Structure 1
Amino acid sequence: MTIENTIEDLDVVILGGGVAGLGAALKARETGRTAVIFEARDSAGGLLDNFTIDGFRFDNAVHLSFATEEKVRNIFDRTPYLTHPSDSYCFEGDRWLKHPVQNNLAPLEPTDKVELIKSFLARPSALAGDDYESWLRHQYGDGIAERYPIRYTQKYWATPASALSTNWIGQRMRRAELDEILFGAMTTQTPNTYYTKEMRYPKAGGYKAFIAPLIADADIRTGHAAVEIDTAARTVRFANGAQVRYRNLVSTLPLPVLARITPDAPATVKQAASELKATSIDLVSVGFNKPLVKDLWFYIYDDDVLASRAYSPSVKSPENVPEGCSSLQFEIYSRGEESSYDGEALKQNTLAALEKMGIAKAEDIAVLDHRVLRFGNVIFDQGMEANRQCVLDWARGAGIASCGRFGEWDYLWSNQSLLSGYNAL
């Protein structure tokens, strides 16, 4: 039998079984086309998947929904959900402040508040440059910027603020207002100014339950990691030896990976793709043998705590933990696809952080798990957009519809990623 005869012919081949790939498969079904999703892992869901240890369920990093699009809500709302206010907190040194920190300075010492407000009043009247650090100093003044967001940026993006563009900000960063800063310096009774007032999360099954209807309706082949795409022959080869020929190809693979596994991609495209950087995420997941956690999520500014933020699966839904227990998951970021940390050292650092923050002691721990996600967030390095466009233009010309957070190489939430896949066909 020739190799040619072993290649399966398919209409729509979708690489990646995350929310974007599932969105593309939905569009195919609605338009009467036959689509097959090929997923490298042994289960679908991608970043929206989860894992369970001794009755404690943890998502792959933090996920909460505030989707407004009718198409998305029609899918997500099939799953019974809980609603949470978007209240969050910040930890610095020995105290907790409400988020956003610049509007909630009341817990600080009076001398600190005076210096930070004076710095805000003396902030630059114009941007010194087009980088994120300049934007922060212009918004908040040097004192607040250096103490909080510049410091946090290095932890979260694993990249200096001066090296980042501002194209990702959107509603994610609260603009500074004098009235808000002054009011929050005098009282802790401040309003919630988060960009959404309500967060939704499934009652059972983790965040993945929101996309369970899409998974149930899709033709998904797990254990198929794409290792080579031949755009001339319109074929995909997988690590397990399977090969398919496609009429239409949808890729949710990260753009650098897509370029790497496509031998006929031009050298200029491969170079541009290699310049695109994302963070990887070390997840340290902690299950407690008692109900210790009450806050949905919080940010951590201290340099000696390697995690930049943590959130509580048990607050998101009590079904995520055994009865009478609680949980937290900490996120630690590295620049690039490989972690910069030792897993055991991260566990110990997290345990020390729990004690420092007054949350828990070693005897309260029932589960302590570490694992790494190769791709977490796209890094908006200055000049990134030109490299991204180079790769996207090539993919489009080669007949590849690239979609999703890493296929578009953009800061997309789950609802946006679903629609990115849906609109790819």
Structure 2
Amino acid sequence: MSGHVVLGAGVAGLAVAHRARELGTEVTLYEASATAGGLLDSFTVDGWRFDNGVHLSFASEPEVRAVFDRTPYAEHEAASLNWDDGRWLKHPVQNNMFPLPAEERTALIADFVARPELEVRTYRDWLIHQYGHAIAERWPLVYTRKYWTVDAGELGLDWIGNRMRRADVREVLFGAMSPEAPSTYYISRMRYPVRGGYRAFIEPLIEGADIRTGHRATALDWRARRIRFANGEEVAYDGLVSTIPLPVLIDIMTEVPDEVRAAAASLFASQVDLISIGIARPDVSPSLWFYIYDTDIMAARVYSPSWKSAANAPAGHSSLQFEIYSSPRNPQTATPEEMKENCLAALETMGLARRDEVVLLHHKTLPYGNVVFDLGMEARRDLVVDWVRGCGIELAGRFGEWAYLWSNQSFMSGRRAAEAMLRASDASS
């Protein structure tokens, strides 16, 4: 018996099923994990709720809002801070240098004004062209190594979009002279469920889907249109959408050309170690989320689940989650206990909490965090994507398409994949 199949039950896979159902077709989702949700899933520890990293919605697409808005939500101002060598500065840091000593501001601005004209071929070039050497070396080049796990000179440019604030001399000057610099973040408000963690936004998709958890695909014969799973089950398919990581998909496929296999093997993503902390005091975090530039602190970014929703922590308590990034290019060598200790020390260094106030300390690893856009990645990825689609398999989601997609973009990616799969099925019938 054949049908329409989706590999992976994250937001993209769930959106495939949702769109197919709107078009009158049922699909079955096969998920390797014990629960659906993927990166948008959440987890609980002793009554505390944490997401798989920072998740806040600023979706504008009507299709996404029609689903997400079924869940009661709170709105938050999109304002964050930066921790740099004993000081808190508003984000983006180069536009909020007022807390720095006058001589430091002067030197950074003078270098910014004299920033060089150069051929921009890498992200490092882009940063120096935008901000000058001094600002780039003090902040974004340091953060790049912590978050992307590689030097900025190893990264391309296509991923940037509106994620990085472009330099504006008036913004830089105003923020250096006044503590009241206006927000220049690319969005103003963010939404988060009142209860149930970020996963609550996708519960309507999960409830309406045919999901088989505990099914990790181990072999895919694209000519015979059959999939085998680690539990021994096999299924045939008429149409297939894959949202699992593209290199993993290639590993399990048959008859893969050598050049495609080599291109897929060159793709890599970051891994995220999450250190989730519960604190016996309210309102510990200085902002909804913040970035860390100190290199002796392993975490690149921290957010407060209890700020996002009071239901995420017991009454009168606060929670923080530290994100520590690694990758095949820069593997994680610290143990979970060493990472926990580093985060506890950071809490004290930043003056947020004492160790004796910590009542929960938890470690979790996410094998896939972000696609890394190393130089030339897009061409290698596109070679793989084109071959897979040529095998009659549609791709969706951050890791299926191997792209920098937010949750709303992954949702829309799943809808498009569903439509493409059904068009192909109609054409072949």
**TM-score category (smaller protein):** over 0.9
Contact 1:355 / 1:361 at 8 angstroms: preserved in 2?
yes
Whether 2:346 is the aligned partner of 1:353: answer yes
Report the counterpart of residue 376 of structure 2 in structure 1.
383
- Post-superposition offset of 1:30: 1.1
- Post-superposition offset of 1:153: 0.3
Instruction: Give the AA of the match of 1:95.
Output: R
1:395 aligned to which of 388, 408, 424: 388
Report the counterpart of residue 427 of structure 2 in structure 1.
none
Report the counterpart of residue 232 of structure 2 in structure 1.
241
Whether 2:41 is the aligned partner of 1:38: answer no
TM-score (norm 1): 0.96
Report the counterpart of residue 187 of structure 1 in structure 2.
178
- Post-superposition offset of 1:129: 3.3
1:176 aligned to which of 156, 164, 167: 167
Whether 2:320 is the aligned partner of 1:331: answer no
Report the counterpart of residue 6 of structure 1 in structure 2.
none
Equivalences for residues 172-321 of structure 1 within 5 A: 172-291=163-282, 292-321=284-313
TM-score (norm 2): 0.96
- Post-superposition offset of 1:366: 1.1
Contact 2:263 / 2:383 at 8 angstroms: preserved in 1?
yes
Q: For the residues of structure 2 that align with 1:15 and 1:37, how far apart are their CA atoms?
A: 6
Contact 1:289 / 1:325 at 8 angstroms: preserved in 2?
yes
Contact 1:61 / 1:283 at 8 angstroms: preserved in 2?
yes
292-301 or 101-110: bigger deviation = 292-301
Q: For the residues of structure 2 that align with 1:415 and 1:128, how far apart are their CA atoms?
A: 34
Could you say if the C-alpha distance between residues 58 and 142 of structure 1 is closer, same or farther in structure 2, counting changes exceeding 3 Å? Answer: same
Q: For the residues of structure 2 that align with 1:379 and 1:69, how far apart are their CA atoms?
A: 26
- Post-superposition offset of 1:233: 1.0
- Post-superposition offset of 1:283: 0.5
Deviation string 1:92-113 (CA, Å, 9 cap, x unpaired) is 1111000000000011111111
Q: For the residues of structure 2 that align with 1:264 and 1:326, how far apart are their CA atoms?
A: 52
Cα RMSD over matched residues?
A: 1.0
Deviation string 1:180-225 (CA, Å, 9 cap, x unpaired) is 1111111111111100000000000000000000000000010001
Q: For the residues of structure 1 that align with 2:145 and 2:256, how far apart are their CA atoms?
A: 33
Report the counterpart of residue 125 of structure 2 in structure 1.
134
Instruction: Give the AA of the match of 1:398.
Output: C
| Percent sequence identity over aligned pairs | 55
Report the counterpart of residue 104 of structure 1 in structure 2.
96
Contact 1:10 / 1:35 at 8 angstroms: preserved in 2?
no
Deviation string 1:227-265 (CA, Å, 9 cap, x unpaired) is 110101101111111110000011001111000111322
Report the counterpart of residue 53 of structure 1 in structure 2.
45
Contact 2:279 / 2:360 at 8 angstroms: preserved in 1?
yes
Deviation string 1:152-182 (CA, Å, 9 cap, x unpaired) is 1000000100010111111100111111111
Q: For the residues of structure 1 that align with 2:357 and 2:244, how far apart are their CA atoms?
A: 40
Secondary structure of 1:423's aligned partner: helix
Instruction: Give the AA of the match of 2:308.
Output: K
Report the counterpart of residue 158 of structure 1 in structure 2.
149
Whether 2:365 is the aligned partner of 1:372: answer yes
Secondary structure of 1:378's aligned partner: coil
Contact 2:119 / 2:125 at 8 angstroms: preserved in 1?
yes
Q: For the residues of structure 2 that align with 1:140 and 1:10, how far apart are their CA atoms?
A: 56
Instruction: Give the AA of the match of 1:128.
Output: E
Q: For the residues of structure 2 that align with 1:333 and 1:150, how far apart are their CA atoms?
A: 15
Secondary structure of 2:82's aligned partner: strand
Instruction: Give the AA of the match of 2:371.
Output: V
Secondary structure of 2:5's aligned partner: strand
Q: For the residues of structure 1 that align with 2:332 and 2:12, how far apart are their CA atoms?
A: 25
Instruction: Give the AA of the match of 2:393.
Output: I
Q: For the residues of structure 2 that align with 1:175 and 1:293, how far apart are their CA atoms?
A: 28
- Post-superposition offset of 1:340: 3.9
Instruction: Give the AA of the match of 2:90.
Output: K
- Post-superposition offset of 1:293: 2.6
Instruction: Give the AA of the match of 1:90.
Output: N
How many residue pairs align between the two structures? 416
Q: For the residues of structure 2 that align with 1:60 and 1:308, how far apart are their CA atoms?
A: 15
Which structure 2 segments of 5+ residues have no match?
419-429
Q: For the residues of structure 2 that align with 1:374 and 1:10, how far apart are their CA atoms?
A: 31
Contact 2:120 / 2:129 at 8 angstroms: preserved in 1?
no
Equivalences for residues 404-415 of structure 1 within 5 A: 404-415=397-408
Report the counterpart of residue 18 of structure 2 in structure 1.
26
Secondary structure of 2:370's aligned partner: strand
1:70 aligned to which of 44, 62, 81: 62
Contact 2:41 / 2:51 at 8 angstroms: preserved in 1?
yes
Whether 2:49 is the aligned partner of 1:91: answer no
Report the counterpart of residue 5 of structure 1 in structure 2.
none
